[in-house]
A = this chain, B = another copy of it.
Amino acid sequence: MTDLPASVEIREEGPREGFQIEPGPIPTDRKVALIQALAATGLRQIQVASFVSAKLVPGWADAEAVLGAIAPPPGVAFTALWFNAAGLSRALAFRDRLSLRGSISFAASEAFSRKNLNRDRAGQMEAMRALTAAHQAAGVAVTRIGIQAAFGCNYQSDIAPALAVQAVADGLAIAAEAGAAITEVTLADTMGWATPPRIARTVGAVRERWPELPLALHLHDTRGLGIANAAAGLGLGVARYDTTVGGLGGCPFAGQPGAPGNICTEELVLLCAEMGIATGIDLDALIAAGHLAEEVVGHRLPSALLRSGTLDAFRRRITAG
């Protein structure tokens, strides 16, 4: 625990992940209300929409309507997700209110890439070259590499650290060709294969090769180990995490119906706060936003902390009593 970061950046992805997977329909104004509540918690980055096919993801058919109704307060960046040039062009219509940056995305598992995108490694490199060119033509800087299935894969089993390193190298090669300056690599545990030692090995392998490259973790709680993996990341000094309030979202992958999705924002904020790591987030406000998220989706979310409340609430009660 000697490498703990002094502060961490926690990026909220609940709206994007949640509304994508909830059966819905959820009225646009309820989505807007949740985003506005989250934007008032101290979170500095919130992924607010997904520009994907309305046929494949009906929950985000109203992405334009949501974006039309929100603007980020000062100090907050709203981000969005897209996978291709069509999505990018929809996002560009909101460049006045979205923080746009381009990502180069690879799966460390080729089986996942084939299954999920119908592309082998060469095909994915081609697609990422084209997407990078589209970003740059639109004046959107390409700054991030995202590695899916970085720790394991339902279609390929365990993923050796060398495969994650290779995927990062592929992304950096494309960035170098295009003259893009990469400022972050996100390692995603897309299907819940990570454990604390695997986090240490893969983070270690990527760092050994690129010591100066900031890393982020995108962790899923598929098998209940998500927060232990985040704690391992903190212990290694990893200072950027993607999370979802209440654990919004879920797992769309084979053989895991009903499994949880991302780790809960509020549980990571609590862990950081109790470990003396700054997040800038008001945990009470965040928990209130989590309760609102449960109202919006109409059911309980996986978060334990939404049930139990913060330790500070007890500390205050005891001091007052």
How far is A314 from B156 in the complex, measured between Cα atoms in Å? Answer: 9
Choice from B197, B259, B304 contacting A223 with Cβ under 8 Å? B304
In the complex, A5 has a CB within 8 A of chain B: no
Query: Interface-forming stretch among A51-59, A64-72, A228-236?
Result: A228-236
The chain B residue with its CB closest to the CB of A266 is B224
Query: Is the Cβ of B308 less than 8 Å from the Cβ of A256?
Result: yes
Q: What string of 1s and 0s marks CB contacts (under 8 Å) between A294-306 and chain B?
A: 0000000011110
Q: State the Cβ distance, A273 to closest chain B Cβ, in Å.
A: 9
Q: Which residues of chain B have C-beta atoms less than 8 A from A314's C-beta? A: 154, 157, 255
The chain B residue with its CB closest to the CB of A231 is B228
Copies of this chain, tallied across the complex: 2
Query: Is the Cβ of B264 less than 8 Å from the Cβ of A231?
Result: no
Count residues of chain A with CB under 8 A from any CB of chain B: 53
How far is A313 from B270 in the complex, measured between Cα atoms in Å? Answer: 33
How far is A251 from B308 in the complex, measured between Cα atoms in Å? Answer: 9
Q: What string of 1s and 0s marks CB contacts (under 8 Å) between A149-171 and chain B?
A: 00010111110000000000000
Q: What string of 1s and 0s marks CB contacts (under 8 Å) between A220-244 and chain B?
A: 0111110110111001000000000
Choice from B157, B197, B256, B304 contacting A221 with Cβ under 8 Å? B304
In the complex, A260 has a CB within 8 A of chain B: yes
Q: Which residues of chain B have C-beta atoms less than 8 A from A157's C-beta? A: 314-315, 318-319
Q: List 22 A-B contacts (CB under 8 A).
A: A1-B197, A152-B311, A154-B314, A155-B318, A156-B318, A157-B319, A158-B315, A192-B308, A195-B275, A222-B304, A222-B308, A223-B267, A223-B305, A223-B310, A224-B227, A224-B270, A224-B303, A225-B267, A227-B228, A255-B308, A255-B313, A258-B307
